[in-house]
Amino acid sequence: MKRPLIIGLGNPLMGDDGAGSRVVELLSADPAVRACADLEWAGTDLFRAAAWMEGREWVILVDAAESTGRAGESVGEISVVEGGLRENHPQEAHALSAAQALELLRKVTPELAGTRFTWVLIHVAAAHTTAGLSAEVSAATTLAANLIRGVLDQWETRPNL
């Protein structure tokens, strides 16, 4: 099996939507992370990452998620979700979300059947055209990078089954 893969999603030109990109940038600067995991940035197109994911035991997807205002979803909060994300809006033929794209990829790519997917979501107010992240989301990217470092450490020390 290949090493774990961390994929940053989002568009850095859309303000806080670039949170996933920033987390991958932070992790890429860490030699310990680079020694145990592969890192990629997929922009807003998860389909382009399909070949990177094939043959992986574990893929971590880092993305911005619009906050719904529910408990634990304020701007800058981080959620970790194992497996698939459930979304409440209908699928559109020409505009799939990252969660919908992953669901489709898993259906049509047999090589992803045994892959564990973990979503690390940084909650944002909304995407808007601007350079840079808000202060809350910028701070959350550092926390998310540290969280991922911690789970990678656990992964590295797990017993081989």
State residue 45's pLDDT score.
87
pTM equals 0.85
Residue 153 predicted with pLDDT over 60: yes
- Give the pLDDT mean for 117-125: 92
CA dihedral 112, 115, 120, 123 (to 10 degrees): 40
Range of the domain at 75: 5-157
Rounded Cα distance, 117 and 141, in Å: 19
Which amino acid does the sequence have at 18?
G
State residue 104's pLDDT score.
87
Looking up residue 47, the CATH number of its domain turns out to be: 3.40.50.1450
State residue 161's pLDDT score.
45
β-pairing, 116-124 with 78-82? antiparallel
- Give the pLDDT mean for 91-113: 77
Rounded Cα distance, 156 and 3, in Å: 10
Of 21-25, 26-30, 143-147, 153-157, the least confident: 153-157
State residue 146's pLDDT score.
95
* Band of pLDDT at residue 25, cut at 50, 70 and 90: very high
Please report, rounded to a whole number, the percentage of residues in the chain having pLDDT higher than 70: 84
Residue 71 predicted with pLDDT over 60: no
Retrieve residue 29's tokens.
């600067």
State residue 93's pLDDT score.
45
State residue 53's pLDDT score.
94
Q: How many domains does the chain have?
A: 1
Q: What is the mean pLDDT of the chain?
A: 85
Residue 29 predicted with pLDDT over 60: yes
Q: How far is CA 28 from CA 10, 24, 31, 50, in A?
A: 16, 6, 7, 20
Task: Say which residue, 51 or 157, is predicted with more confidence.
Answer: 51
